Structures are given as C-alpha cells and as structure tokens.
Amino acid sequence: MTHNKLNLPGEKIDRARELAKNICAPVLDFIDVHTTVTVERATLRLLGVDGVSSVGVPVPNLIVDALSDKLGEGAAIWYSNALLQTGLDQSELDKRIARGFNIASLPMGDRARAQEYATRLAQRQFARIDANRAYREARLEEYRGNSHSPLLYLIVATGNIYEDVKQAQAAALAGADVIAVIRTTAQSLLDYVPFGSTTEGFGGTYATQENFRIMRRALDEVMEREKRYIYQTNYASGLCMPEIAAMGALERLDMMLNDSMYGILFRDINMYRTFVDQRFSRMINAYSGIIINTGEDNYLTTSDGFEKAYTVLASQFLNERFAYAAGLRPWQMGLGHAFEMDPSIENGVLYELAQAQMAREIFPEHPLKYMPPTKHMSGDIFRGLVMDSMFNFVSKATGQDIHLLGMLTEAIHTPFMMDRHIAVESALYVMNGVASIADEIEFKPDGLIVRRAHDVLDRTVNFMEEIGRIGLMESIERAMFADISRSRTGGKGFEGLVEKGENYFNPVESTLTRSLGLA
C-alpha cells in the first residue's frame, strides 16, 4: 500500500544501510566478547531465579555480586552447580541465597552436568515464553481487524500500579490499543529491578515483574470485553535493559521501548555497557515476539526538529542495523520519530509530512512509532489540541503504525483521565474523517515536500559517511548525536562490564542465538 510518492533515490537508501552496517560492525565485535552484570542477571531470571532479600536486594543481584571475578564464566553454571551441589530445588535455593547463602563458595563440580542442568532450566522458561507468544498470536488472529490503524498508544503514570490499572482500563475502553506504563524517573539509573507490587513512584510507576502481571491481567479483561487486543508496553531501557526484557517476555508484554543509544545519550549510561545490554535485551525481545519502540523522538526534544531532522533518520538506520543483529524482524522494529518542529515555522506541518512520509517509504515493513509534539507545547491547551490534531492528521496521511497520542496538557501535569479521553476522541475524529487520505494524496514531484525529503536523506547519508569515517563511539564522544558528548569510559554502569572468559557459558544466549538464526 505504500508506494513511492517521494521518488527517493534507491541507491542513497542502500548506501545508508551499507554505512549503518559498517558503522555497527566494530561495535558488534566488541559486544560479542563481553557480558555485563545485568546480562547475567537477566540470564538468571530466564533460568527461573526469583525473590528478594529482607532488605530488598533481588536474588539475581545477590548471585552476580557474589560471583564477582567468576562472572567471566557466566552466572548460569554457578547457579546450576549450586543446585546440584546442595540438592535443593530452585525455590529453596533462591530463599537460601536471599538469606545470605553465597553460591560462589561452593566448589565447581562436573561442568558438563551443570551446563546440561542450566540448559534444562532455561528451556522451562523458554517454554513459558513460547506459550505467551502463541497466546498473543492467537488473540491477535481472533480479534484481527478490531484494532485502530495506526494503533493508538496511551501512557499512564500515576506511581501506583492499582491506580494505573483504573486509568489504563479507562483508556483502553476509550479506544487505546496500546498502554504504556511510564516508569518512575529514578528507575533507569537503578542497577537492579525492584520487587513486588508498588504504590509509590515519581512521574511514573516502578517496572517490576509483579506490576507487569497486574497490568497484564487488567488489560486482558478489557481485551475480552472489547474483542480488541490491548498491547502492554514498558521500558527496556536504563541499567537493566535485558532484565526488563526478560520480565516482559515472561509476563507477555507486547512492546518495549528499546533504543540502541538512548541510555548513552540521555541517561549518561556508559556506552560499552549500553551496547552490550541492548543487544541481549533485543535478542530476548526478538524471541518473545515483542515489537520494540526506538527513541528517536528524544533527539528532537534536545536539538532542533527542523535542522536536526537528519539525525533522526540516521538513528533509525542504526537502530535498524542493531535490531537485525539481535534477530529482530522488520515487523518488530518500531522505529521512532516525532512531530517536534517549531510551530511558528511557515509550512512546518508540510515538513513534518515530508519526514513522516520519508520514514514510511524507507522502512515499509516496520511498524513506525510516531511521537506527538511535546517541546513546543505550552500551557495553552487550546492551541495544544490543534497541534495534536495536525499531528494526528499527518500520522494518518502517511500511514504510521503506532501513534502515541498527544496530550493537550503536555508541559502542565501528568495527564488527567479526561486529557486522555479528549486525545482519543480527537484522534478518532481526525483519523476517521481522513481515513483514506494516504491512498488519495500524491505529492508534487518538484514541490516543497518532495524536495525536503530528498534534502533530509542527502544530509543523512553525508552525516553517516562522516560517522563511518570516525567511528560510532568517537562520534558520540564528539557530540554528533543530540549535541551531547559522552566519553567511552564515562557514564554510569561501566564497572558492570565484564569480558567473557574462555569458558563462558550462557544457555539463554546460546538458545537465543540458535533459534534467532544468529549463529
């Protein structure tokens, strides 16, 4: 249904993909020979490790901290070794570890036996993920055609999971297809995942496995009633990307925010750490059939939406490349972009149209995630609603797939229930009123929109040529993305990076590698 309206030169698009491949290659080589504390903790979670100490330290953290210099061998074998040596079952061992038992103090027995045992534990969790995936696919098939196009995406963020549930159900009943629970602002910098259901958070709610479960149940209720699949979304970002991805897989989340460089640039997380973490988290997302959402919108809240539009496209190419390298399929790559140009720019909406149509044509199979205006939203809610309406129009006119609804009260407060209601109503009005517009409109071959798209693509290729010359990490050091400079060894979480040892063993990774065809 998307045909080429912009007449973008295919060889330039091919060149950008080739550059992305070259740019990512050395980073991927680095990733291959490293693990991190959170990759190991995610691995343990996917062996079924669970629980928390009396002071709230999760068992996966206790194990990984205790292993310290043994971590280069992978945590899995030490865990299965402990099960074999003690003869305990998993929940008994986890409880003992929570009370202070150090599994690293046990002698390593027969490695082959321990490996075989760990592999079996992983298979049990993979079976659960397979069942989740099968369930999702069956429901999507059953309710096919009942979702909106684009999918309407709404955020809840009360801090209290039980309050989130009420707001999420109301939002889904009002028409939202996707519900994201924003995390508390502190969470991205925590090097552990909190445990249990939570009722306190700032600007959002803790992502915990129990909170995931509570929200899943609530959204499934609405799904049954509305005969429409409700996608659950959370954030595989920050210092625990792979662990959150593991929890998302186990609790049947459907989408996860997952950007290859967001943590580096916008959360000052160490770049080596992030690159290793994003790969493993994306492999888990890939296996569990989750659609990732990348975070290109953030480039434009920091830099100028008109002048820096090419950085968005460049990031989309890099995110796509890193996604392929983690086994994600194009239908799982929700590449992000945003409607963030200064509203006072003459023809600004046409430039937005050009950018959105360009993304559509360059990434035809990808479920593009389109983000609403935020930076230029003022306290003027009436103007804000008009801006959101133009955004809704552009989204429908360019065939976007995942549409994050703008809030008229953006920049004022976390949305009230009625703000979401107004957002859904106005989106449904606009999108119904112009339902067939993407099929109806063509662009003037030498007009403003076509020229703008060509210009952004040209700049993107030039920008990527430069990154290719100096290298991705060096480019980040030189503030070439989002005007933010990050050093290689700076940022949070660098100490959690570990070189894989000669006898590194990870049954989760090897299963993922094999089943995703990455070997």
Among 21, 96, 421, 478, binds other proteins (CB under 8 A): 421
Q: How far is the CB of 492 from other proteins (least distance, A)?
A: 9
- DSSP secondary-structure letter at 177? S
Tell me if residue 50 is catalytic: no
Write the binding mask 193 to 212 for other proteins: x where contact by CB under 8 A, - elsewhere: ---------xx---------
Is residue 385 close enough to count as binding other proteins by CB under 8 A?
Answer: no
Contact region for other proteins (CB under 8 A) — 76-84, 350-358, 417-425, 458-466?
A: 417-425
Of 98, 104, 61, 101, nearest to 79 by C-alpha is: 104
> What are the angstrom distances between the C-alpha of 379 and each of 203, 374, 375, 414?
19, 11, 12, 13
Chain center to CA of 59: 25
Candidate residues 483, 487, 495, 503; the one interacting with other proteins per rule CB under 8 A: 483
List 417, 435, 470, 479, residue binding other proteins (CB under 8 A): 417
Q: Does 159 bind other proteins (CB under 8 A)?
A: yes
> Should residue 375 be labelled a site residue for other proteins when binding is judged by CB under 8 A?
yes
Could you give the residue ranges of the DSSP H alpha helices within 434-480? 437-440, 448-470, 472-477
Instruction: Among 416, 439, 465, 469, indicate the residue that binds other proteins (CB under 8 A).
Output: 416
DSSP string, 313-351: HHHHHHHHHHHHTTT--GGGEE-EEE--S-TTSTTHHHH
Q: Which of 9, 379, 433, 445 binds other proteins (CB under 8 A)?
A: 379
Among the residue ranges 105-113, 128-136, 354-362, 373-381, the one whose residues contact other proteins (CB under 8 A) = 373-381
Instruction: Give the type of residue at 219.
Output: L
Largest CA distance in the chain: 74
- How many other CB atoms sit within 10 Å of the CB of residue 428? 15
Q: Could you tell me the smallest distance in angstroms from the CB atom of residue 198 to other proteins? A: 14
Residue 436 within binding range of other proteins, rule CB under 8 A: no
Pairing state of beta strands 178-181 and 497-499?
A: unpaired
From residue 105, alpha-carbon distances to 30, 211, 270, 514, 518 in Å are 31, 34, 31, 32, 35
Tell whether residue 477 is a contact of other proteins (CB under 8 A).
no
> Pick from 65, 210, 220, 268: which binds other proteins (CB under 8 A)?
268
State yes or no: residue 170 binds other proteins (CB under 8 A).
yes
Contact 298, 448 (CB under 8 A): no
> For residue 504, how many other CB atoms are within 10 A of its CB?
18
Q: Is 188 in the site for other proteins (CB under 8 A)?
A: yes
The Cα-based distances of 17 to 323, 331, 360, 460 in angstroms read 13, 17, 15, 11
* Site membership for other proteins, residue 301 (CB under 8 A): yes
Known catalytic residue at 369: yes
Shortest separation between residue 371's beta carbon and other proteins, angstroms? 14
Residue 411 within binding range of other proteins, rule CB under 8 A: yes
Give the footprint of other proteins on this chain (CB under 8 A): 159, 166, 169-170, 173-174, 184-186, 188-189, 202-203, 266-268, 301-304, 342, 344, 374-376, 378-379, 411-414, 416-418, 421-422, 425, 483-484
Catalytic residue positions, numbered: 262, 297, 369
